[in-house]
Amino acid sequence: MTLYLIGLGLYDEKDITLRGLEAIKKCSQVFLEYYTSRLACDVEKLEELYGVKIKIADRDLVEKKAEKEIIEPAIDGNVAFLIIGDPFAATTHIDIRLRAKEHDVDVVVIHTSSIITAIGEVGLELYKYGKITSIPFENDNITTPINVLKANQEAGLHTLFLLDLDPLKNKFMSIGEAATYLKRKGVDENILCIGCAGIGSQKAQVKIRKLKDMVNEPFTRYPQCMIIPGNLHFMEEEALESWR
């Protein structure tokens, strides 16, 4: 039978596609990967709309028990594995697909929105972003985001920083924390940054500030991310201006 890897999008229960919802309804078991992102609605809201019971899959289940809990049941029945955002975007669930193939389980992928493309809403061209990077909670000795920023800056490209989160502990890195990290690591405090909160919701917050001012800038929605723009085309400048 089939393992469906289904994206749920960014905001609430209505971000699933018609195809995704149709697939869920064929499944006898439905898992929700719930450790790399979160939605703005409760799991009960999803269950109500989808008309199914959802099992929460934490990191331990996905990384250590997926074979037994998710893949083996898909040998004889249809199983849905729901992923917030697009299935293979911010997090790679390639591994679960490879393991399913080993068991001769068909895998069907159903895409939807991801922060990686929804960020286009800010008004900077997606073609002009360089490598994406993440800032983890434990970052005292982490320099990857700084190195990525430097390489992108040299090429005139925009840099998207995704911020760490731990939804099961209700812990989300804020834009202020990310700005503090960048400042501490020596990024020019006068550089222009774009703070983005709740992208994909109907009330995204986008603010443009110098790095030193972003440290204390309040945002209320989560998840949050940050951009340091590279060279700006006049249309991009106009788009940024429209958020001021």
Binding residues for a copy of itself (CB under 8 A):
7, 9-11, 13-19, 21-22, 49, 86-90, 92, 94-95, 97-98, 101, 108-109, 111-114, 116-118, 120-121, 123, 125-134, 151, 155, 157, 200, 202, 235-236, 238-239, 242
162-198 in b/e form (b: 16+ CB < 10 A) is bbbbebeeeebbbbbbbbbbbbeeebeeebebbbbbb
Q: Shortest gap between Cβ of 157 and a copy of itself (angstroms)?
A: 6
Rounded CA-CA distance 113/146 in Å is 27
Rounded CA-CA distance 167/43 in Å is 12
- Which C-beta is closer to a copy of itself: that of 75 or that of 108? 108
CB proximity list for 172: less than 8 A, separation 6 or greater: 163, 164, 165, 166, 222, 223, 224
131: closest CA among 150, 112, 111? Answer: 150
Asked whether 23 and 49 are in contact (CB, 8 A), the reply is no
Q: Shortest gap between Cβ of 224 and a copy of itself (angstroms)?
A: 17
- Which C-beta is closer to a copy of itself: that of 5 or that of 182? 5
- Which C-beta is closer to a copy of itself: that of 102 or that of 140? 102
- Which C-beta is closer to a copy of itself: that of 9 or that of 73? 9
- Which C-beta is closer to a copy of itself: that of 42 or that of 121? 121
Q: Shortest gap between Cβ of 196 and a copy of itself (angstroms)?
A: 13
- Which C-beta is closer to a copy of itself: that of 29 or that of 152? 152
CB proximity list for 92: less than 8 A, separation 6 or greater: none
Q: Shortest gap between Cβ of 212 and a copy of itself (angstroms)?
A: 28
Q: Shortest gap between Cβ of 49 and a copy of itself (angstroms)?
A: 8
Q: What residues form DSSP beta bridges with 206?
A: 196
Q: Shortest gap between Cβ of 242 and a copy of itself (angstroms)?
A: 6
